[in-house]
Every structure is written in structure tokens, then in C-alpha cells.
Amino acid sequence: MDRLFEDRGFGMKIGYGEKPALVVIDLVQGFTNPELPLGADLTPQLAETRRLLAAARSAGIPVYYTTVAYEEGDLRDAGIWAKKMAGLMTLREGMPEVEVDPSLGPLPEEPVIAKKYASSFFGTDLLSRLNSLRVDTLLIAGCTTSGCVRATAVDALQNGFRPMVVREAVGDRSQAAHDQSLFDLNAKYADVVGVEDALGYLSGISAGRVAPGV
């Protein structure tokens, strides 16, 4: 954290709560295949996300995936965003590109929440799902750091959750955008935590040292 920011009180720690959920943002084939218009090589992030998934399942906490999927042939349901990003045309409902990357091994009971825009909260039922379970902490993995991860973390904070962005489990097409977004998130909107820190937290829940989220 830049000294100027520290001196002015930015980057204070929110800290973990007692009832977490894990949200895996847009690690779908349209984003994890670097050959596709919206894709990037997210091999390291997928590996770290698998570790988080294993720990979350062991702890018995809720796991949610998100995807971006459009139903209308003319992308009318993408609104103005379709004018900004031509690659959204590859994210059509029913196509492999909108399916969760199979390397994550998603379980049938782990919901996949379809969204139209960047934030996992905007236009979805994620908020009501989390509130019904009294979740207070959101562990965040996925892509992209500068887009959907950032938007979700900001909305999580604005909805009263403790957003914990797991550094090694989020990625972007641009390293510069990734680095700047993590800096900004940690300064103002979320705690950017290491994967080992997050795994230690989840281990504490498994051992009963922290109340589980369900």
C-alpha cells in the first residue's frame, strides 16, 4: 500500500466474518480458453480456485458460480454493453462458452447464476440467496479482476458483506489492469487476501473454530 494512502487511512482491514460463502466468478470456457475473444490463460487461477473449492466443500459453506449468458439472438438482453464489447456475442445461452470450466469439477448442487452484466449481484438473485443463509463474508475467485471481480466486490461491500478477494485465484487479460484493480480494491472496497490465508480461515470453519455459513 502506497505510504500516502496509508497515512490517509486507506486500506484498513475489514476482516473475515463468521458465515462465509465462496463465489467463483465467470470461470467459464469463454473466459478460460485463451483462443476465444474474451479468453485468457487462467491456468494458475483455476488451480488455486480448485483448492478453495475443496476447502469450501470440506467446511460445508455455500458455493456459487456465475456465468454470463444471453438468450436473445440480437443480444438485446446485453443492452448497451453489446455495443462496447463485441466478444459478448460468444456468450450465448446453450453454448459451451457459457459453461463452467470442467476442470473445476462443479457439483450438481452448486448453483450457477446467470448474469447479463459485470456484477454478480446486478439482476440476479445472489443477494437473496446469501441473505437467506445469513452469509456475512464473500470469498471471491474468478475473472476478470478489473471487470466482474471488481464489480462484484464493490457491490458486496455496498450490500453489507465482507468481500475477500483471493489474490492468487483471480485473473485478468491485462497484468496492469489486474495489479491496479487489486491495489484499488484493497485500498477502498475489499480485503485482498492470500490463498493460504483464505484456506486457513476455511480450515478453522471445518474445525469448528468459526461458525459455518449454513
Catalytic residues: 148
Q: Which CA distances in Å does 159 have to 106, 121, 138, 174, 188?
A: 27, 9, 11, 28, 15
Alpha helices in the chain (DSSP H): 3-7, 29-32, 43-59, 81-84, 126-132, 150-158, 175-188, 195-206
The DSSP 8-state label assigned to residue 78 in this structure reads: G
Cβ atoms 156, 148 nearer than 8 A: no
